[in-house]
Chain A
């Protein structure tokens, strides 16, 4: 794929979906995220890049409070979605996660049928009033994850029986089935082969039309291919944030330049 493509990209909208201010995260004594400010725009693919252990995944997990499930993690600072503080005591993380979906690094289909995997979210959120409606939700989600054609004849087969790329697209279908407003993707292609990666990337580009997508990746090419905005993390700091084209062609910070030219990483 031609990297020049990024120059043709433009950002559809400037409406801010997520606003983070002064975010700090500790894992026990380890200060994993240091004072990060970032604005994530709606209907945009935002990529977080940086070397391993730089805190990009940790920050991502703050956005839907997945860090709550880790006992030793402590989050400080202010993160707002549509102006509402998600760390407010009144906010139920369960409701938040329905709004901010997540796709993980390793495909993790439940040991259930393909249908039940996708229907899981709609069922717990009570989105369908009947079997027919649920069928429709499942079908649409599978279509939007571009896997419908491959699985429509074996919806009752276990989801764990699919290939790696199919499993990851199933997980994306599972995430979009709950109709989130933001979709977080934590290195969604790291366990996939190049063909499956291409399929998922194409999918991400499509999803942008309806969602705000945040993707963590350690592949700079991937960030360049799929995102409009890029944030570079290093040692827990947000070093640079801006238009993807700008970051890749004309980085302001020397650390960003070192990273994209392959000197650190």
Chain B
């Protein structure tokens, strides 16, 4: 290298003061600020979407926890309910709900007259639009359980129809009523008049949380309680199966598996299973559990089995991470005092990894709890499970729904009154998910160990 071959630096870039920025620097700084804004905008948009989502869930779903009731003293007319007068429940059960409806309607009409409310609605039958179709069944159940009430006037708190409920929740507008054959403007006037005197009232609706789904025409009495029990039994199956299988599989792969082709295949397989669309697990469940093994359709057991297969990869991946986090020195220490490999793993490694495993399992369960698509294929939608199961076997095998499937079912129905239920169901589902995730986070914080 000679000096002559070296070009000297040219003066292409002016050597200016550092303090006075030149035009180009100003331009570059502006570009920098713009780019930074894009980043902030990206995050802001994401968080904005989150807020919109949460606000629309809460604002649309909060209504499901409130319900309109009518407080009405019903005269249980012996002439209608117990013609023979011997108060025999067997005989009285022959009177269907159609026998009860007029009693309730007349009772309501009486109140209207007592309160001297002016209304063009003069017949008992005109009151029908205000009263839920399930009210008659409610009264009938009380009477059959207690036949001696017949002949007395009993105070009832019955459900108002979903139109009345919707009117008080601003879902049903007066403009819409003109086209609605179920209710007229006069009815709404009457509701307005009954509201201040406490006959019609909107209160907290426990039945939504504990009750069962109702048919298409009775949105006001639909609840998510039975679906919640269905979800509970499914989660029970998932927990009982996926935790031991997942932990056993992870222990084998992490601690015992020889490094060979078969182990590789299993590992790649687990990684890919975690990314298989959930609907494919539904197809698997349908083909294997229902078509091939003839397990009952719509049973939480089958739902639980499908969700177990779906959750296993998640649990295996997180369990392996927790096992990996236990330092080899612990294993060496146990082996060094003469423990077998199996003893070292089960007595020392596993207890130390337990908090991590538990956290992973809870997160896996939370995922399974919100999963819907596979449940549609094994038939956990489209019917009404009216009663809560009465034991473990019936809980696992009787047809039931699950919370997300129930929400889907409501979202599909024509009556917008069900949408409110769907959002309300989502609030309950999210409460469960938030609780589970919080427990997982607390567990992690509490027991996290740094080696």
Contact = CB atoms under 8 A, between A and B. Distances in A.
| Contact between chain A and chain B defined by CB under 8 Å | yes
Interface of A: 81, 84, 86, 88, 90-92, 94-96, 98-99, 122, 124-128, 137, 140, 143-144, 146, 176, 178-179, 181, 202, 206, 209-210
22 contacts: A84-B19, A88-B18, A92-B18, A92-B29, A94-B28, A95-B21, A98-B13, A125-B24, A126-B24, A127-B12, A137-B12, A140-B7, A143-B6, A143-B7, A146-B1, A178-B13, A179-B12, A179-B13, A206-B1, A206-B6, A209-B8, A210-B8
Contacts of A81: 18
B15 interface: yes
Interface in B133-160: none
Q: Which 6 A-B pairs have the closest CB atoms?
A: A140-B7, A91-B18, A84-B18, A90-B19, A127-B12, A179-B9
A176 B9 contact: yes
Contacts of B22: 95
A40 B270 CA distance: 61
A204 to B, nearest CB: 12
Contact of B25 (A95, A128, A178): A95
B5 interface: yes
Contacts of B15: 99, 181
A86 B17 CA distance: 10
Contact of A127 (B6, B13, B20): B13
B5 A143 contact: yes
Contacts of A209: 6, 8
Interface string B371-386: 0000000000000000
B10 interface: yes
A213 to B, nearest CB: 13
Contact of A96 (B6, B7, B18, B29): B18
B6 A95 contact: no
Contacts, number: 61
Contacts of A88: 18-19
* Category for how many chain B residues contact A: 20 to 34
B5 to A, nearest CB: 7
A151 B197 CA distance: 94
A124 B345 CA distance: 57
Interface of B: 1, 3, 5-13, 15, 17-22, 24-25, 28-29
B8 to A, nearest CB: 6
Interface of B: prevailing SS: loop
Q: Which of B3, B6, B20, B24 has the largest number of chain A CB atoms within 10 A?
A: B6
Contacts of A202: 1
Nearest to A122: B12
Contacts of B19: 84, 88, 90-91
B34 to A, nearest CB: 15
Contact of B18 (A95, A128, A176, A210): A95
A128 B28 CA distance: 16
A96 B17 CA distance: 9
B4 to A, nearest CB: 12
Contacts of B1: 146, 202, 206
A84 B18 CA distance: 7
Contacts of A92: 18, 21, 25, 29
Given A95-B21, A206-B3, 7 more contacts: A90-B19, A95-B25, A99-B15, A124-B28, A144-B9, A176-B9, A181-B15
A86 B18 contact: yes
Contacts of B11: 179
A206 B22 CA distance: 31
Contacts of B20: 90
A42 to B, nearest CB: 12
B237 to A, nearest CB: 49
A206 B9 CA distance: 12
Contacts of A124: 28
A179 to B, nearest CB: 5
Q: Which of A86, A92, A99, A176 has the largest number of chain B CB atoms within 10 A?
A: A92
A146 B5 CA distance: 10
B22 to A, nearest CB: 8
A124 B28 CA distance: 9
A181 B24 CA distance: 19
A125 B9 contact: no
A164 B326 CA distance: 38
A238 to B, nearest CB: 24
A146 B28 CA distance: 32
Contact of A84 (B12, B13, B17, B25): B17
B18 A99 contact: yes
Nearest to A126: B24
B164 to A, nearest CB: 61
B17 to A, nearest CB: 6
Nearest to B7: A140
B21 A144 contact: no
Contacts of B6: 143-144, 206, 209
B13 A125 contact: yes
A95 B1 CA distance: 33
B35 to A, nearest CB: 13
Contacts of A176: 9
A210 B10 CA distance: 10
A90 B7 CA distance: 34
A60 to B, nearest CB: 18
B350 to A, nearest CB: 38
B129 to A, nearest CB: 67
Contact of B10 (A90, A179, A206): A179
A209 B19 CA distance: 27
